[in-house]
Structure 1
Amino acid sequence: MDGGGEAAPPTAHPAVQPLSFLLGTWRGQGEGGFPTITPFKYHEEVTFSHHPSKPVISYSQKTWKLKDSGEPLPMHAESGYWRPKPDGRTIEVVIAQSTGLVEVQKGTFDEKEKVVMLKSDLVGNATKVKEINREFKVVNDELTYVVEMGTNVTSLQSHLKASLKKV
């Protein structure tokens, strides 16, 4: 025992360590659009959490818009798990959306560039959505992402983008 002071934060599981740049809660604003909907803006909170004994990251996301009264109005939420593979480059992700849609994604990550690229392997319980790709990147303590979506009538294209700061 060192006799005092603050305890060191627990280290991440070795499989999660290369993605530790994501860990924490991020808040900011985003915008969305698609050929079949009216463009919109939103506020967002994303949390990546982790217990050092498990090789997985818990993910949760929620968005809201502000009503004219200034009160938040919930829009969308999703949660899931990010599971880095032992090779230190690939990842599997499962996400359940509040709309009932479920995504199984596979992708790659680059610890040095602080980027994660995901492509849908399966989009379940969806009548129109056929594929979803996501790119997350951290630059200068800012998390940005882009979500692309393809439907049964529209090819894969930009749907959402946001910029978030760690809180």
Structure 2
Amino acid sequence: MAANFIPPLPSMPQSALHQAVQPLSYLLGSWKGNGEGSFPTISPFRYLEELQFSHSPNKPVIAYSSKTWKLGSGEPMHAESGFWRPKPDGTIEVVIAQSTGLVEVQKGTYDAKQRRVKLKCSLVGNATKVKEINRVFEMVDGELSYEVEMATNHTSLQTHLKATLKKL
């Protein structure tokens, strides 16, 4: 056997959804739609977004990613990714790394029947101006809607982003 030989990886067994992820399984998959943003320090804008929620077998975590593009030109705008860790008691821990260099640590709750996730900021790392980011995700008429609130050194907590996405 050659010294450079690397044996093939074993195939992953097909497993059921992890029990902790089950209440949020409606999120799994790809979502696409339009959003709008505003804040006192910037001009209002509109964007196209694609969200991805995925799950590895036997792991109590959901991988999350988001990419946005300017409407019209298709120019990339923002990207972020992270992990959602739902707990059996209805709480959830979320970490998100943004392409801007910010890192969010959020804690919150989910309501499986209402299909709503509320996230409150525990920490915004590597930020000079942003002090708080909160998020709410919910299913409305079969679509995934969300709202992001933000506070900075100079502004109080207020809506920054809103979007409505359809499952692909």
- Give the alignment's TM-score, normalised by structure 1: 0.90
Distance 1:134 1:119 in 2: 7
Taking every aligned residue pair, what percent have the same amino acid on both sides? 71
Partner in structure 2 of residue 6 of structure 1: none
> Is the aligned partner of 1:77 residue 2:114?
no
Alignment partner of 2:20 out of 12, 15, 21: 15
* TM-score of the two chains, using structure 2 as the length reference: 0.89
SS of equivalent to 1:100 = coil
Query: In the alignment, residue 26 of structure 1 is paired with which amino acid?
Result: W
CA RMSD of aligned residues (A): 1.2
Partner Cα distance (2:15, 2:47) in 1: 34
Aligned to 2:30: 25
Unaligned stretches of 5+ residues in structure 2: 1-13
After TM superposition, give the deviation of residue 10 of structure 1 in Å. Answer: 5.0
Partners of 1:106 and 1:121 in 2: CA distance: 6
Report what 2:103 is aligned to: 102
1:109-120 map, 5 Å: 109-120=110-121
CA distance in 2, matches of 1:66, 1:119: 29
Structure 1 residues without counterparts, runs of 5 or longer = 1-8
Contact 1:21 1:138 in 2 (8 A): no
Is residue 91 of structure 2 the alignment partner of residue 86 of structure 1? no
What residue number does 1:123 align with?
A: 124
Name the aligned partner's letter for residue 42 of structure 1: Y
Structure whose alpha-carbon radius of gyration is higher: 2
Q: Work out the CA distance in 2 between the residues paired with 1:66 and 1:42.
A: 5
What does the per-residue CA deviation read over 1:102-160, in whole Å, with 9 as the maximum and x for residues that have no partner? 00000000000000000110000000000000000012220000000000110000000
Runs of 4+, deviation exceeding 6 Å:
none
